[in-house]
């Protein structure tokens, strides 16, 4: 019996033994006596049979991913895609591919290339492992309206030739670098505020390089942004430092663990719901992040929970709401270079520590990182992060005259074309529903939280404060909003609503709520949900 016949029998035996209907025999090496192993790191599971004279490598694949329809089917199995399996490479499909690429540690470009196909064939086995000491930093910009605008302008200047898709890929960065070079700017490929302002001027920003003239000393005049001066503490009514909570104005219970203010980031990805934490926090701040999604900062001062999560990474807006409270930001890592910027603002950061942090087994990384806020406060104090003796009130807490407010049954806030939330007055509280394009086409998904015992409840709050802020793209290419300056403010409480203004002179300041004549308006005390909404989006209410 020759060697080849023996190998065929061996393959037939493996087929019968494993129950597989077919085998993809990738390599059969009978020409050498040297033992060898073929490794395909991102595409397959390998079964190897080796003797002293022959090495046989047999690769077993799951369903082959050949086209968009195959990818949609697999992404649906992985709970990353909720659309129709129709073979159409639409935005929903591309977003699902991007999410899979991010979870698998691949380049996040939304393209079904050979590496992504091969990784999809492995499914969850391709997901990167995040171990006990790892930091969750595998994140990237999915879509940005500012990048899309830049691509359009760069194409007008004949510097960009690829698709206008709002994705900050290599082609976009190279075009930005070329524009920066022509304009005499720092050539780093980042669409920062100076580059953006110059790009708005187009060719007028190009420097003139004459005979014997170096472009290294030429600068471009950029419009200077409005500067503000601190306006100090807000006035209050029936409020006492050390008695009432600065976070929501309510009297603090005796024995409350108000040793320090912490703000813990909460994921709001479709795979992160239901979250744990918002139902326990003194207040919640909702902020825009990449991909048109949002995340929460759950603020704890007099309250605590042993089960908060999933915890995700920092964003530029986070420290601006914690600074006036002397708070500590608790996150799971951040885009490179951001945490030093946050700490330079005077806001300490805690990230990925054991035993304060832990991972739960019922969810996949990165949506399984949780923490105990009691332990987080203890750790913050052990690090020397001392709280402000009596943190100032975050808003002008008081007892407003509701005769100036209008009756209100709902308030809908749009953060992007992908995310919209609705708060509905039920006679006792405002309850939360949402629209998430990554989940489905429904506008009234009930948003629930879950506790450590598995008990679920709909998110609710006493007061909704919507602050409409100017959006911008941080130099690290992170969508953000400005919380210094002034803008529209909508406050809903007790089935009543007032349309007002907010103003703030620095990150040290609390949020002053004022009327059209610059008179202070008091905010009702109670559990509060603070939505930082891009001022390019209009609310609806009634």
pLDDT tens column, 338-360 = 999 999 999 999 998 888 999 99
Give yes or no for residue 11 having a pLDDT over 50. no
Phi first, then psi, for residue 19 (nearest 5°) are: 80, 10
Q: 276 to each of 192, 384, 409, 459, how far by Cα in Å? A: 35, 28, 27, 10
Q: Which fold has domain 145-217?
A: Muramoyl-pentapeptide Carboxypeptidase; domain 1 (1.10.101)
Distance from CA of residue 305 to its chain's centroid?
22
Calculate the dihedral angle through the C-alpha atoms of 450, 451, 456, 462, rounding to the nearest 10 degrees: -90
Mean pLDDT of 322-329: 96
Lowest-confidence region among 159-168, 220-229, 446-455: 220-229
Q: Is-same-fold flag (68-126; 262-541)?
A: no
How many residues appear in the chain?
A: 542
Pair 75, 83: CB distance under 8 Å: no
How high is the pLDDT of residue 15? 42
If residue 351 lies in a helix (H) or strand (E), which one and from where to where? strand 349-351
pLDDT class of 58 with cuts at 50, 70, 90? very low
**Hey, where are the domains in the chain?**
3-60, 68-126, 145-217, 262-541
Q: How far apart are CA 201 and CA 223, in angstroms?
A: 11
Distance between terminal CA atoms of the chain?
85
- Across the chain, mean pLDDT equals 82
What phi and psi, each to the nearest 5 degrees, are found at residue 118? -65, -40
What is the residue whose two structure tokens read 């905010």? 523
308 within 8 A of 277, measured Cβ to Cβ: yes
Write the burial class of residue 157 (CB in 10 Å: 0-12 exposed, 13-18 middle, 19+ buried).
middle
Pick from 84, 129, 113, 86: which is nearest to 97 by CA?
A: 113
Q: Kindly report the pTM of this predicted structure.
A: 0.62
Give the residue with greater pLDDT, 3 vs 156: 156
Burial (CB < 10 A; 0-12, 13-18, 19+), residue 204, is: exposed
Distance of CA 25 to the CA centre of its chain: 42
The predicted structure's pLDDT at residue 254? 87
The CATH class for the domain spanning 68-126 reads: mainly alpha
Say what angle helices 114-122 and 91-103 make with each other, to 10 degrees.
Answer: 70
Please check the confidence at residue 161 and state whether its pLDDT lies above 90.
no
In whole angstroms, how far apart are CA 467 and each of 374, 481, 502, 513? 30, 10, 7, 10
- Region of 178 on the Ramachandran plot (φ > 0 left; ψ -120 to 50 alpha; else beta): alpha
**Tokens 């929903």 sit at which residue?**
92
96 Cβ contact list (under 8 Å, min separation 6): 72, 75, 80, 81, 83, 438
What CA–CA distance (Å, rounded) separates 331 from 314?
Answer: 6
Q: Which CATH number fits domain 262-541: 2.60.40.1730, 3.50.90.10, 3.20.20.70, 3.90.1310.10?
A: 3.50.90.10
Stretch 101-111: mean pLDDT? 80
Q: What is the spatial distance between Cα 466 and Cα 294, in angstroms, rounded to a whole number?
A: 14
- 158 vs 167: CA distance, rounded Å: 18
b/e per residue 114-130 (b: at least 16 CB within 10 A): ebbbbbbbbbeebbeeb
Q: Cis check for the bond before 241: say yes or no (omega within 30 of 0).
A: no
pLDDT band at 25 (very low <50, low <70, confident <90, very high): very low
Nearest to 350 by CA among 247, 262, 478: 262
Residue 55 confidence (pLDDT) above 70: no
The residue ranking higher by pLDDT, 87 or 222, is: 87
């Amino acid at each position: 019996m020759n060697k080849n016949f023996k190998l065929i029998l061996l393959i037939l035996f493996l087929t019968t033994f494993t129950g597989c209907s077919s085998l993809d025999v990738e390599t059969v090496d009978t020409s050498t006596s040297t033992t060898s192993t073929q490794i395909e790191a991102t595409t397959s599971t390998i079964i190897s049979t080796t003797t002293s004279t022959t090495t046989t490598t047999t690769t077993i694949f799951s369903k082959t991913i050949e086209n968009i329809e195959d990818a949609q089917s697999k992404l649906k199995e992985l709970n990353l895609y909720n659309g129709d399996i129709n073979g159409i490479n639409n935005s929903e499909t591309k977003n699902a591919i991007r999410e899979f690429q991010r979870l698998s540690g691949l380049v996040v470009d939304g393209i079904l290339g050979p590496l992504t196909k091969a990784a999809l064939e492995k499914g969850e086995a391709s997901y990167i492992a995040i171990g006990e000491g790892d930091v969750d930093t595998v994140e990237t910009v999915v879509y940005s309206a500012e990048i899309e605008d830049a691509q359009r302008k760069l194409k007008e200047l004949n510097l960009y030739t690829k698709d206008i898709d709002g994705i900050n890929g290599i082609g976009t960065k190279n075009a930005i670098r070329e524009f920066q070079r022509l304009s005499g700017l720092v050539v780093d490929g980042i669409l920062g505020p100076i580059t953006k302002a110059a790009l708005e001027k187009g060719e007028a920003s190009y420097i003139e390089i004459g005979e014997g003239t170096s472009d290294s000393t030429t600068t471009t005049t950029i419009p200077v942004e409005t500067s503000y001066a601190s306006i100090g503490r807000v006035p209050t009514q029936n409020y006492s430092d050390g008695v009432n909570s600065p976070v929501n104005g309510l009297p603090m219970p005796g024995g409350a663990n108000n040793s320090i203010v912490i703000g813990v980031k909460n994921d709001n990805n479709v795979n992160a719901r239901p979250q744990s934490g918002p139902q326990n926090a003194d207040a919640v701040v909702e902020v825009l992040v990449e991909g048109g999604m949002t995340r929460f900062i759950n603020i704890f001062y007099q309250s605590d929970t042993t089960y908060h999560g999933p915890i995700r990474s920092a964003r530029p807006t986070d420290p601006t709401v914690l600074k006036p409270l002397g708070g500590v930001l608790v996150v799971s890592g951040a885009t490179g270079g951001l945490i030093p910027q946050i700490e330079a603002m005077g806001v300490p950061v805690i990230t990925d520590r054991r035993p304060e942090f832990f991972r739960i087994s019922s969810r996949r990384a990165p949506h399984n990182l949780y923490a105990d806020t009691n332990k987080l406060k203890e750790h913050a104090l052990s690090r020397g992060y001392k709280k402000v003796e009596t943190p100032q009130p975050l808003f002008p807490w008081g007892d407003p005259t509701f005769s100036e407010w209008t009756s209100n049954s709902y308030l809908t806030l749009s953060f992007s074309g992908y995310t919209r939330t609705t708060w509905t007055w039920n006679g006792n509280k405002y309850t939360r529903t949402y629209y998430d394009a990554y989940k489905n086409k429904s506008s009234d998904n009930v948003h629930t939280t879950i506790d450590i015992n598995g008990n679920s409840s709909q998110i609710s709050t006493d007061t909704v404060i919507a602050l409409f802020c100017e959006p911008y793209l941080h130099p690290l290419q992170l969508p953000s909003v400005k919380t210094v300056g002034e803008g529209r403010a909508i406050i809903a409480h007790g089935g009543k609503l007032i349309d007002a203004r907010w103003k703030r002179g620095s990150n040290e300041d609390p949020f002053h709520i004022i009327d059209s004549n610059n008179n202070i308006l008091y905010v009702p005390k109670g559990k509060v949900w603070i939505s930082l909404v891009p001022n390019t989006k209009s609310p609806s209410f009634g």
